[in-house]
Amino acid sequence: MLMMPTPGTAGHALIEPTADVDATAEVGADTRVWHLAQVREHATIGSGCILGRGSYIGPGVILGSNCKVQNYALIYEPAVLEDGVFVGPAVVFTNDVFPRAVNPDTSIKDADDWHSVGVHVGTGASIGARAVCIAPVSIGRWALVAAGAVVTKNVPDYAVVAGVPARRIGWVGRAGIPLRAEDDGRLTCPATGEHFHERDGVLMAEGDPR
């Protein structure tokens, strides 16, 4: 789910004087942009977000509502974050599969000399401090990427991944707490009591239409 800024929404964004927000960027109501953060041209930031000190939001990047981007995280275009995503300190979302500064003739590359690819993060997912997400890759809803992980493959909904390269080591619920295995084969969230079923590496919450 992705909620975009709506004209006329009550409330105002709080943008620190030292932040650099391009005039073409859209910043939703009640969003806070802290010291030295940069929001590039045509980026779209939903309502209720927090962009920490020194964070970078690339051109055309889309953030849903209630996202939290911690200090010095770098989110390069064309990334898309759905609602309620947490991005820890110094996280990097890449956008170039074969990065080079120059072409084979040593001329400097410009925007026409490469094709950017993005990272997509589903609703409620969390990316731990200093993790690197290598585009193109998708992080599922409510997934949890451990601090320092290097994500090179798509991450399923509710999965916990860790390591270099990142591999699934467990499952979490919407509260972010590891699920408990029950005798009947279900998995239960200790915090919410919500039940899940795993089949063929996919976790589904009971009543989840997906």
Helix H, strand E, coil C: the string for the chain is: CCCCCCCCCCCCCEECCCCEECCCCEECCCCEECCCCEECCCCEECCCCEECCCCEECCCCEECCCCEECCCCEECCCCEECCCCEECCCCEECCCCCCCCECCCCCECCHHHCCCCCEEECCCCEECCCCEECCCEEECCCCEECCCCEECCCECCCEEEECCCCEEEEEECCCCCECEECCCCCEECCCCCCEEEEECCEEEECCCCC
For residue 203 the two structure tokens come to: 């976790």
pLDDT confidence band for 7 (50 / 70 / 90): very low
pLDDT confidence band for 206 (50 / 70 / 90): confident
pLDDT at 4 over 70: no
What distance in Å separates the CA atoms of residue 100 and residue 114, rounded to the nearest whole number?
9
pLDDT tens-digit readout, 34-43: 999 999 999 9
What's residue 185's pLDDT? 85
pLDDT tens-digit readout, 120-131: 999 999 999 999
Please report how many Cα atoms fall inside a 13 Å half-sphere around the Cα of residue 45, on the Cβ side.
34
What is the radius of gyration, based on Cα positions, of the chain?
Answer: 18
Residue 128 amino acid letter: G
pLDDT confidence band for 209 (50 / 70 / 90): low
Q: List, in order, residues 6 or more apart from 9 with CB less than 8 Å away.
A: 28, 29, 47
What distance in Å separates the CA atoms of residue 86 and residue 11, rounded to the nearest whole number?
22
pLDDT tens-digit readout, 51-84: 999 999 999 999 999 999 999 999 999 999 999 9
